[in-house]
Structure 1
Amino acid sequence: MDATSASAGAAAAVKADAPMTDGKPRTAVLRMEGIVKRFGAFQALSDVSLELFAGEVHCLLGENGAGKSTLCNVMFGVHQPDAGSMWLDGAPYEPHSPRDALTHGIAMVHQHFSLVEDVSVLDNLLLGQVRGWLDRKREAQRVRALVAELGLALDPDARVAELSVGEKQRVEIVKCLIREPRLLVLDEPTAVLLPAEIDALLDTCARVVARGCAVVLVTHKLAEIRRIANRATVLQSGRVVARSSTPSADVDALVRAMIQRPGNAEQEAVSTTTATATPRSTTRSASPYARPLADEALQIDGLTVRDADGVTRLEDCTLVVNRGEIVGIAGVEGNGQSELGAVLAGMQKASAGRFFVQGADCTQAAPQTLTKAGVGVVPEDRHAVGCVPDMSLTENLFLNRLDDYARHGFMQRRAMRRDARALMQRFDVRAASPDVAFRGLSGGNQQKAVLARELTLDGLAVLIAAQPTRGLDVGAVAAVYDHIRAARDEGVGVLLISSELDELMAVADRVLVMYRGRIMGTCVPDASQLNLQRERIGAWMAGQTA
């Protein structure tokens, strides 16, 4: 792997690393050279050079805010570079919009779906692509032939609203591939998929490149890099800092390049294996319920939630979280996990059932009362309920204890800033100052700030952490779980709700699986049976009981 600190060296590394055909360098499908992009005073990309080749998967890596999405949007014509040049099949390429990019054979699957829910798959696939008379029968046959070639299961006549998340992802991909692009850009496409659906998507990528297409895959998942990447490029602060033509062998070095700061030798010691670590091989009690009642940090007894239409979203949920234990809740999003987290945070009322914190019934408690009872909450939507974006970082760090800094009707701002700086250092929250607006922080730093606030709650007994690493890079994920483990080791009971199965298996002491509001099964992660347990959990996540 070539690690580079200067952009000129980075550009040279691309050329030197170009694949050869019959002893001659291959022509790149897309070549980007010296790309610069600014947003006001902020420089998102600085002299970035990249080459993408037909028949290869090129993984784009980097921390949140490193410039990955900006670079993809430059490829796709969403943003125009302030400097630099691009060539498509050797000819100058200057897209002014996504329509230009699509016309030139570049398609992009965004992280969030852009489908029309109330119409069929076929209608979604043909939107904006067919002019004049539409022969639906012929177009349906064309779609079926394409999905058969790619090995996908997709019914053109199905209504999109009735599809699973994985099926919707397939529609997005086929919508791009039906245009027969030369370059397909995938922005974190596996974030909300079942394990089996992830495998199917990666198989599809392999078939796409076998047809001669170039694929850019933005991902934070190390298993995906090992499995499918032909090449990888790491961005840091808008610059290329490392490349690899053998990513599966260079994963550890690529991760170090992502999180290492120039001149900071301490970063060499940072653990980079959180996302793929094997479970701890500690000895556990055969039954977690056999422990004394005094050990229970959180007890949930028959919690049920019905929505406004009377549909049951959470059904008879019963579980115990002991002190000094991390209990993971796995499952595809939309299977009752959000409702469980909302009830435990005091944001939603239960239709039936109760829950207890350290033996005290908190079922009807308001959020402020739960805070006083020792419940810390990291919500899945940090922007909507986890922070006040227009307030400062300092104010957000102390939202749950502003009274501690009130004296005679005035806020002790100097003391708040001093304590905020200490928390920023302890939890590695990176910002120009404690006074910056919270909305100006990157997603990873916002999440670390919310975690810092909740983990330093006075008398913390229970932490409810819902999707705490969503959208975070490998370095931020490692930091989040280091802090959660530390809380567990200090006796806090942790309920960890996540759609990232590999992370749950590496971090949790027990993993429970939810499907359509019910707990389908539970297991204690065991490194010696990891593959078998993943298969069993994947089956539970899909609703299979055996």
Structure 2
Amino acid sequence: MTHAAPALQITALAKSYGGVRALDGIDLVVRPGTVHCVLGENGAGKSTLCHAVGGSLVPDTGTLSLYGGTYAPRRPADALAAGVALVHQHFSLVPTLTVEQNLRLLRLPNLHDGLARVRDEYGLDVRLDARIEELPVAARQQVEIVKALLRAPRLLVLDEPTGVLGPAETDALLATCRSIADAGGAVVLVTHKLGEALRAGDEATVLRGGRVAGGGPLAELGTRQLVPMMIGRAADSLDPALAGAVGLAEPVAVATREAPRAAGSALALSGVTLRRPDGTHALDGVDLDIGHGEIVGIAGVEGNGQSELMALLGGSRAADSGRIALDGRDMTGAGPAARTRAGLGVVPEDRHHEGCVPELSIAENLHLGQLGRFRTWGVALDRAALARAATDAITAHGIRAPGPDAPMSALSGGNQQKVVLARELALDPLVALAAAQPTRGLDIGAVDAVHSRIREAAARGAGVLLVSAELDELLALSDRVLVAYRGRLLGPVDPRDPEARDRIGELMVGATPA
């Protein structure tokens, strides 16, 4: 009996950055007609492995083969020529161009025929006339996936593709992966969410500290076997809210937090209206009042004004009308730096482009907006003091980094998120924190830490606005939940209500139950 050659075979692959061993003798086999999941915590080596397969880095040692033939890409163009398509965590789209203009940069013949094929085979459709910068993050990710599928690749590699997707978009993506595999293709799905792997995958390889910690057919593995491989502790030790947020448990029924609202308003919006370039309302007369020590969750299908609300709070967009107040102080016309100084921390949805400066060091990113603290006589930057403060933050927040002077771009997406969170939570004063999807792309242990720090911020008196597509996360952390729908905030819903989940679902489609 003749066995088909592996779609991808990796043997003894190794890669180091300075003294850090990112990959240490990786062996992996991906069979045709399968979805092979690569699991692991942030910094385990998953993205480095993807870059090696996609040709954007050359390993120090080891070999790769593709369908039985030698495969040694030296650049991304080599991978594309061999039929390997890689969808990165961070988008490679031109924001000021339309979707169609971005797709035409591929220089593929018969673009519209290709789009029709992708739509018919995978159910993926995109708005060709939309500008990338006007699309929500989930829609941008879909464009990236369509770009990859237009090339009809023999091997599709997806690096944390669901990190920016909501539940419905995630379901659609996993169905696409299965369709590709069922048609005889091969998919490498990199994810930290075990629930996704168990739903869509055939086989798995678990990385930990740059090495293979285990793996095998997912039909023979389960949570109890996979969780210890990833994090070194048993699955039944996880908090139910945490397990739900990473896709492992039954839905959380009620909130676990009970914190009385302190007197006074930490963050308030009054009659805020913001129009999109096409004239439609992104925010339509929004009123919102968050008390000191209160956590208010925002649920909703993406594209209903959540992104614009965060841009407004961060100061990158200005309201057409209305008022924003922080601790009673009018901040409507204040810029980002003034809001930071006043105590408004903002964790944006797109951490890579909006939350950090990849070219600067980790230390500088940890103290963006506060570098004046480290200047001698207001001029020279005391880099030794900056490095010491950054090292303390790296240790306290469990950031896996070569050191404080390494560029931000050297970090995995999850560790970049930890840097952004560490910086915003360290504001003094911290009057209010607005966080969008703060646990997207984070592994189990990091999600646990983020939940704890959000609770701690509220316990110290900060008002917290939490925008999340993870309903379990909202129900577990929030004192009340509002639902974004067509630029308005509906509700509130009490997370302790046994019917909270159903009521939120109704509000997400615009229903107003009695």
What is the TM-score with the length of structure 2 in the denominator? 0.78
Cα 1:252–1:325 shift into 2, 3 Å: farther
Tell me the equivalent position of 2:170.
198
Query: Identity of counterpart residues, as a percentage?
Result: 45
Distance, in Å, in 1 between the alignment partners of 2:130 and 2:56 is 28
**Deviation, structure 1 residue 503:** 3.6
**Deviation, structure 1 residue 425:** 3.2
| Structure 1: runs of 5+ lacking an equivalent | 1-21
**Deviation, structure 1 residue 502:** 5.0
> Residue type of the partner of 2:418?
K
Distance, in Å, in 2 between the alignment partners of 1:444 and 1:119 is 27
Distance, in Å, in 1 between the alignment partners of 2:117 and 2:389 is 62
> Residue type of the partner of 1:299?
A
SS at match of 2:130: helix
Equivalent in 179, 203, 223 of residue 251 of structure 1: 223
Tell me the equivalent position of 2:29.
51
> Could you tell me whether the CA contact under 8 Å between 2:494 and 2:500 is conserved in 1?
no
Equivalent in 86, 97, 101 of residue 64 of structure 2: 86
Show the 5 A alignment for 1:504-519: 504-519=474-489
Equivalent in 186, 194, 207 of residue 222 of structure 1: 194
> Could you tell me whether the CA contact under 8 Å between 2:227 and 2:235 is conserved in 1?
no
Tell me the equivalent position of 2:422.
452
| Structure 2: runs of 5+ lacking an equivalent | none
Distance, in Å, in 1 between the alignment partners of 2:381 and 2:298 is 40
Show the 5 A alignment for 1:316-355: 316-331=285-300, 334-355=303-324
Show the 5 A alignment for 1:144-223: 144=116, 147-150=119-122, 152=123, 154=125, 159=128, 161=130, 173=145, 176-177=148-149, 181-223=153-195
> Residue type of the partner of 1:186?
L
Distance, in Å, in 2 between the alignment partners of 1:485 and 1:464 is 13
Equivalent in 493, 497, 512 of residue 463 of structure 2: 493
> Could you tell me whether the CA contact under 8 Å between 1:467 and 1:498 is conserved in 2?
yes
Cα 1:30–1:386 shift into 2, 3 Å: closer
Distance, in Å, in 2 between the alignment partners of 1:392 and 1:162 is 31
Cα 1:198–1:160 shift into 2, 3 Å: farther
Tell me the equivalent position of 2:246.
275
SS at match of 2:215: strand
**Deviation, structure 1 residue 43:** 4.3
SS at match of 1:55: coil
Distance, in Å, in 2 between the alignment partners of 1:95 and 1:411 is 41
**Deviation, structure 1 residue 316:** 1.0
Show the 5 A alignment for 1:523-542: 523-525=493-495, 529=499, 532=502, 535-536=505-506, 539=509
Tell me the equivalent position of 1:4.
none
Distance, in Å, in 1 between the alignment partners of 2:261 and 2:437 is 30
> Could you tell me whether the CA contact under 8 Å between 1:188 and 1:217 is conserved in 2?
yes
Tell me the equivalent position of 2:206.
234
Distance, in Å, in 1 between the alignment partners of 2:18 and 2:311 is 38
What is the TM-score with the length of structure 1 in the denominator? 0.74
**Deviation, structure 1 residue 326:** 1.7
> Could you tell me whether the CA contact under 8 Å between 2:253 and 2:475 is conserved in 1?
no
Distance, in Å, in 2 between the alignment partners of 1:168 and 1:412 is 40
> Residue type of the partner of 2:305?
G
> Could you tell me whether the CA contact under 8 Å between 2:298 and 2:465 is conserved in 1?
yes
Distance, in Å, in 2 between the alignment partners of 1:87 and 1:488 is 52
> Could you tell me whether the CA contact under 8 Å between 1:327 and 1:496 is conserved in 2?
yes
- Once the two structures are superposed, what CA deviation does each residue of 1:149-180 show, in whole Å capped at 9, x if it has no partner? 54x2649xx73538977777666556655665
- Once the two structures are superposed, what CA deviation does each residue of 1:66-94 show, in whole Å capped at 9, x if it has no partner? 33233223333444433222233334333
Distance, in Å, in 1 between the alignment partners of 2:368 and 2:139 is 41
SS at match of 1:64: coil
Cα 1:534–1:407 shift into 2, 3 Å: same
Which stretch has the larger CA shift, 29-38 or 358-367?
Answer: 358-367
Distance, in Å, in 2 between the alignment partners of 1:389 and 1:119 is 25
Which stretch has the larger CA shift, 309-318 or 206-215?
Answer: 309-318
- Once the two structures are superposed, what CA deviation does each residue of 1:18-50 show, in whole Å capped at 9, x if it has no partner? xxxx8x977422211112234566543221110
- Once the two structures are superposed, what CA deviation does each residue of 1:305-363 show, in whole Å capped at 9, x if it has no partner? 34678664322111222333221223455543333234334454332111333333333
Distance, in Å, in 1 between the alignment partners of 2:407 and 2:390 is 13
SS at match of 2:161: coil
Matched, 1:461 2:439: no
Distance, in Å, in 1 between the alignment partners of 2:268 and 2:437 is 21
Distance, in Å, in 2 between the alignment partners of 1:397 and 1:54 is 43
Tell me the equivalent position of 1:425.
395
Show the 5 A alignment for 1:11-90: 27-38=5-16, 43-90=21-68
Distance, in Å, in 2 between the alignment partners of 1:171 and 1:367 is 30
Matched, 1:484 2:475: no
> Could you tell me whether the CA contact under 8 Å between 1:397 and 1:453 is conserved in 2?
yes
SS at match of 2:246: helix
> Could you tell me whether the CA contact under 8 Å between 2:296 and 2:479 is conserved in 1?
yes
> Residue type of the partner of 1:64?
N
CA RMSD of aligned residues (A): 4.5
> Residue type of the partner of 1:275?
V
> Residue type of the partner of 1:61?
L
Distance, in Å, in 1 between the alignment partners of 2:345 and 2:5 is 55
Cα 1:281–1:335 shift into 2, 3 Å: closer
Distance, in Å, in 2 between the alignment partners of 1:69 and 1:110 is 8
> Residue type of the partner of 2:12?
G
> Could you tell me whether the CA contact under 8 Å between 1:125 and 1:174 is conserved in 2?
no
Which stretch has the larger CA shift, 32-41 or 386-395?
Answer: 386-395
Tell me the equivalent position of 1:13.
none
Distance, in Å, in 2 between the alignment partners of 1:39 and 1:284 is 42
Matched, 1:475 2:445: yes
Larger Rg: 1
Distance, in Å, in 2 between the alignment partners of 1:54 and 1:143 is 24
Distance, in Å, in 1 between the alignment partners of 2:389 and 2:292 is 28
> Could you tell me whether the CA contact under 8 Å between 1:539 and 1:545 is conserved in 2?
no
SS at match of 1:69: helix
